[in-house]
């Protein structure tokens, strides 16, 4: 897209053929909105490596939207990472989302030759120069495993200085947390675009469970209103759409350089917000 702001959608690789067919169908629908790119997640310890690779190549080559694979370093050797990065480069992929990643349950302490996302960013730069636009993750409300907010900010700045081009945030529901994070890291010398990650609200129980696990604060007033709707899916969706649309308006008016939608492999919730905001197509 030609405008300064950028808009993107995220998918997760599915375990079944039917799920994959639905993902590609959703991607084709979203592609009509001309997003800047699609991203595709990478399971803990590289558990979805092949599915991520295949999904990214199909999005890039068949759906015709630039695709960015997530790549994590925990649990992988440099040789494994080098081979995968080389495969993406040879396939013409131009963007990577570089993450530390999570270990599958039961694997204990972090393993692999690269322990931090900053190490992975530096490794990609050493291996491929400027071939890839490297995205990294940002946590406006602090990474759930960080010692404290100050150390988390410094770790993020280190990751950026290792060679990141831009960042996508964990989703949040308090715009002030985003603006405060941006202000703090800018004082540490960070000047790359920090794009807010947006999670549409469609299911209260799943959202509450996921938010608790990843450290995203679900405001009490939102939680209580969603609880009050019970099993009324239509009211939950309408309320969620209104809340997220208003938040996105605040973010864009405050200078956010775009939006990154966590689709959960669904088109309608993200597109409802896109249309409410009258974003360009």
Which residue in this structure is represented by tokens 């393993």?
Answer: 111
1 is a domain residue: no
Active site residue 10: yes
CB of 172 within 8 A of CB of 202?
A: no
Structural domain containing residue 127: 6-277
> Count of CB atoms within 10 A of residue 126's CB?
10
Q: List pLDDT tens digits, range 22-43.
A: 999 999 999 999 999 999 998 6
Which residue in the list 4, 10, 135, 227 is annotated as catalytic? 10
SS3 269: helix
* pLDDT value of position 44: 55
Dist. CA 3–CA 66, nearest whole Å: 16
* pLDDT value of position 51: 86
CB of 40 within 8 A of CB of 72?
A: no
Low-confidence ranges of the chain (pLDDT < 50): 1-3
Residues 6 or more apart whose CB falls under 8 angstroms from that of 118 comprise: 155, 158, 159, 161, 162
Q: List pLDDT tens digits, range 147-198.
A: 899 999 999 999 999 999 999 999 999 999 999 999 999 999 999 999 999 9
Which residue in this structure is represented by tokens 């120069």?
Answer: 129
209 is a domain residue: yes
128 is a domain residue: yes
Which residue in this structure is represented by tokens 């990472």?
Answer: 81
CB of 74 within 8 A of CB of 110?
A: yes
CB of 96 within 8 A of CB of 105?
A: no
What is the number of domains present in the chain?
Answer: 1
Distance of CA 209 to the CA centre of its chain: 18
* pLDDT value of position 108: 52
266 is a domain residue: yes
* pLDDT value of position 18: 95
Q: Residue 253 — left, alpha, or beta (φ > 0 → left; ψ -120 to 50 → alpha)?
A: alpha
170 is a domain residue: yes
- Model's pTM, two decimal places? 0.94
219 is a domain residue: yes
Share of the chain above pLDDT 70, in %: 93
CB of 202 within 8 A of CB of 266?
A: yes
Dist. CA 175–CA 119, nearest whole Å: 30
Dist. CA 189–CA 192, nearest whole Å: 9
Query: CATH no. for residue 75?
Result: 3.20.20.220
CB of 94 within 8 A of CB of 132?
A: yes
Beta strands in 73-127 (DSSP E): 95-99
């Amino acid at each position: 897209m030609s405008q300064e702001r950028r808009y993107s959608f995220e998918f997760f690789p599915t375990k079944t053929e039917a799920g994959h067919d639905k993902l590609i169908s959703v991607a084709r629908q979203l592609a009509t909105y001309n997003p800047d790119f699609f991203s595709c997640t990478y399971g803990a310890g590289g558990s979805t490596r092949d599915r991520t690779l295949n999904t990214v190549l199909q999005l890039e080559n068949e759906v015709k939207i630039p695709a960015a694979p997530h790549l994590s370093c925990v649990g992988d050797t440099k040789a494994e990472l080098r081979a995968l990065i080389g495969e993406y480069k040879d396939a013409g992929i131009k963007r990577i989302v570089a993450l530390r990643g999570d270990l599958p349950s039961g694997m204990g302490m972090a393993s692999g030759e690269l322990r931090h996302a900053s190490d992975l960013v530096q490794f990609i730069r050493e291996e491929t120069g400027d071939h890839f636009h490297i995205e990294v993750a940002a946590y406006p409300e602090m990474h759930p495993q960080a010692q404290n907010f100050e150390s988390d900010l410094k770790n993020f700045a280190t990751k950026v200085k290792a060679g990141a081009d831009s960042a996508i945030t964990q989703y949040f529901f308090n715009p002030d947390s985003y603006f405060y994070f941006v202000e703090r890291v800018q004082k540490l010398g960070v000047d790359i675009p920090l794009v807010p990650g947006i999670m549409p609200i469609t299911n209260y129980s799943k959202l509450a469970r996921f938010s608790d696990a990843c450290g995203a604060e679900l405001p009490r007033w939102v939680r209580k209103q969603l609880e009050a709707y019970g099993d009324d899916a239509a009211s939950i969706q309408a309320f969620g759409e209104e809340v997220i649309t208003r938040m996105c308006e605040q973010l864009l008016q405050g200078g956010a350089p775009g939006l990154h939608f966590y689709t959960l492999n669904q088109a309608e919730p993200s597109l409802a917000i896109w249309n409410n905001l009258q974003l360009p197509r």
